[in-house]
Amino acid sequence: MTRLELDGARFLSTGQLILLREISSLSASLNMPVFLVGGCVRDYFLKTPAKDLDIIVEGDAIRLGEALVEKFGGHLIAHSKFHTAIWELPETPGQATDSIDLITARTESYEHPGALPVVKPASIEDDLQRRDFTINAMAVRLDQDRFGELIDPFDGRLDLEKKRIRILHPRSFLDDPTRIFRAIRYECRYSFEIESGTLELINSESIGVISKISGERIRHELDLILEEVSSLAMIIRAGDLGVFKGIHSKLPLFNKEFVDLLEMDLTLDIPADRVAMGYMLWLLDLPEDAILSIGRRLDFSSELTHSVWAVAQLKKSLPFLVNSKPSIWTYALEKLPLLSIYVVFLVSGERALLNYISLWRHVKPFTTGDVLKSHGLPPGPRYAEILTSLKSAWLDGEVKSEKEEEELLQTLL
């Protein structure tokens, strides 16, 4: 029996370790064995610090959660349908973990391919069996006298050493085709390979089931991919494996020329949004109707659909704007989302777009509506016309000081 050194400095922070010990002793008093499971066990072997702590309880996760809240405080969000709970820890300064997932060990069955699972409480072995890949189907016992014992029924540890992604049974992708996205994510993230038997099961049958699952579930997987460091390599791999056919008939392959463009220049004072930028780079050459239809399929927010649409429109109008005066650029760009403009700059290298983002959009004349009023100008459309003329004059370098603006204003009044 392998026993893991959970105290190993790099894996768990001291705070996390203390927490696990507390959970371990409380669950012993309730007579409920507990296990650390899934991604954090995988990360232990990969020597990366544990992100989330997922705890499996043989018994009743919600009861354990209630006991933890009673003893240590914090707040419990219980999902009785799934027998799970999230324990939101009481706030302490500098803590690395702010919540812990508590899950009752369970079996899952699927009424039809792609359906959400029906769950029933079960043993840890059953629970590991319902999981996606061998590398995610390991558990570590946390009960006091067996603290650190590894449970690895599918040789996940060996697959980690051999750097391979392997499903546990041939129906895995049919039960849950979101696992196809997960396989690609782990493969590219860790530079592993999807093992050949598993790769064969990413085929027209399992990809066909993707078309039956909700846009929200698919978009969640795509969002997770776009948050990753090697996200675009993952999108390209998914396209090469034919996965997009299950999402939408018009979803294009990712343009490989854009693969290095997802890094945001943070000095530009634009709210960074890697995920939105990923969709923009992916869909920017599509016609309007395809963007709208894909947006509906993937349950995009109206804001995201608008941003992607704006990228496509702006890219198409660039030839008509090139060599225009700054004022023309500014009025053409003013109503578009900044991030869309930035993405078109990335793919086109058009300096005017960067000038707009960093300079032109901030230009304002000294004159305001109140100043015009104090000159006795009667209310009406002249206000906007005069202010626009003054702004254009600044943008196009026709006035360069407050005095020159004042002189121009006198000619306009």
51-80 residues in contact with ligand CTP (CB under 6 A) are 52, 54
Whether 34 contacts 56, CB under 8 Å: yes
CA dihedral in degrees (46, 47, 48, 53; nearest 10)? Answer: 90
Residue 178 touching ligand CTP (CB under 6 A): yes
Tokens matching residue 102: 């508590």
Neighbours of 70 (CB within 10 A): 10
Give 252's DSSP letter.
Answer: P
SS3 (DSSP) at 18? helix
Q: Nearest-CB residue to ligand CTP?
A: 39
Residue 175 touching ligand CTP (CB under 6 A): no
To which residue do tokens 């006035």 refer? 399
Residue 38 touching ligand CTP (CB under 6 A): yes
Nearest CB to ligand CTP, comparing residues 106 and 179: 179
Which is it for the CA torsion 312, 315, 317, 321, positive or negative?
Answer: positive
Residue 176 touching ligand CTP (CB under 6 A): yes
- Residue 111 burial (CB < 10 Å; 0-12/13-18/19+)? exposed
How many binding residues for ligand CTP (CB under 6 A)? 11
- For residue 368, what are the CA distances in angstroms to 361, 379, 380, 383, 412? 17, 13, 14, 9, 14
Residue 179 touching ligand CTP (CB under 6 A): yes
**Least spacing, CB of residue 137 vs ligand CTP, in Å:** 6
Residue 136 touching ligand CTP (CB under 6 A): yes
Residue 132 touching ligand CTP (CB under 6 A): yes
Residue 131 touching ligand CTP (CB under 6 A): yes
Question: Which among 22, 15, 18, 57 is positioned nearest to 36, based on CA atoms?
Answer: 57
Stretch that binds ligand CTP, among 1-9, 56-64, 171-179, 266-274 (CB under 6 A): 171-179
**Least spacing, CB of residue 343 vs ligand CTP, in Å:** 26
Stretch that binds ligand CTP, among 62-70, 117-125, 131-139, 394-402 (CB under 6 A): 131-139
**Least spacing, CB of residue 313 vs ligand CTP, in Å:** 35
Write out the residues near ligand CTP by the rule CB under 6 A.
38-39, 52, 54, 131-132, 136, 176, 178-179, 182
